[in-house]
Amino acid sequence: MAIARVSRQNEAMNKSTIYCDYNAGAPVRAEAAVAMARALATGGNPSSVHRFGRRAHALIEDAREQLAAMLNARAENIVFTSGATEALHLVLSSAGVASLILSAVEHDALFEHATRALGVKTIAPVNSDGPLDLAKLAALLADAPRPALVAVQLANNETGVIQPVRKIAALCREHGALLLVDAAQAFGRVPLSIAELDASYLVVSSHKIGGPSGAGALVLAPGAPFSTSRFGGGQERGRRPGTENMPAIVGFAVAAEWAVRDMPTELRRVAAMRDRFESKLPKDAVVFGQNATRLSNTSNFALAGVPAETAVIAMDLEGVAISSGAACSSGKVKSSRVLTAMGVAPALAKCALRVSFGHESKDSDVDAVLAALTKVAARRRVLEGASP
């Protein structure tokens, strides 16, 4: 009865809400859900030697091969994890480097751990549009104890700004540094190859592309240093102990397959939606990172005088799900460190909102978001005594 009740609640919510928060998490693709259900029905521990264990193990290895083909990697160099956060932390604890350089706009999954737990203070700045300042990165690399590790998000989760990773990789090679690329937001949204990026480590995630939460992967380049600091049952070739989440891994691989297959047409489709959305925003709206190369699905913008914290709630009441520029795990809105790094004034940064489209988005969603946003902004201005 409880399952049926939750199902009815989800169905009602899906019918009444326009979902435009794909960068936080995409709805699970039907194909992935079906594959997961079949995987659950197989049962078995992947480490067991009987037929049930062998069957579960085979499903994981099939998924590993699928992801390897999509990422131009070797299957044996893919380490399944519980998500991108764990994968990033694995690199920090296993790369064996003398110093770490972070971009100022890294995801909190890495930035907070590196600065608070590891005490990292070497932060590479970005310019006002969001890409790394390559000259300053080169200077930091020249002074950094070797070997150094540079950590950079391929595509920023807030602004969608895409970093010039090939140029960053060239600087890393010049200074004998390793490169960690967080591609959680980019996978399935831009062509991705660990070899072409010239990265030492690549991190991808399931729930951004319509797979289940709780699955991700660390991809190692051939020869990339990795000395595990975790020990247990020897799973994932001894690099990540713990029984694998086989159904989630299967769903991850299926979702990735569909996302990559549909990517050429989806890139154009969602880009048209995003561009139309931004063209219809009020004239006083500020779009962040619009002069840089961005993910085609992402718009990070602000309406001065409309605080994000109240706007997100008001939009939800209007039946539209969007997010602020930066939301922490507790669901509260906080000031965006990314926009601060880009030089955005604090008052404007507090008004940052993010709309992100995806595989279930429709053209009519753009109109619905704009209508709700206009209503919310007008209501706020009336409350402040200004004309709507």
Which residues are annotated as catalytic?
A: 328
Asked if residue 126 lies in contact with residue 341, where contact means CB atoms within 8 angstroms, the answer is: yes
C-alpha 356/C-alpha 204 separation (Å) is 18
**Helices and strands counted in the chain (H then E):** 13, 13
C-alpha 62/C-alpha 83 separation (Å) is 19
117 residue type, one letter: A
311 residue type, one letter: A
Element (DSSP H or E) covering residue 354 = strand 352-356
Tell me the DSSP string of 278-308. Answer: HHTS-TT-EETTTTS-B-TTEEEEE-TT--H
Distances from the Cα of 181 to the Cαs of 142, 168, 309, in angstroms? 20, 10, 31
- SS3 assignment, position 109: helix
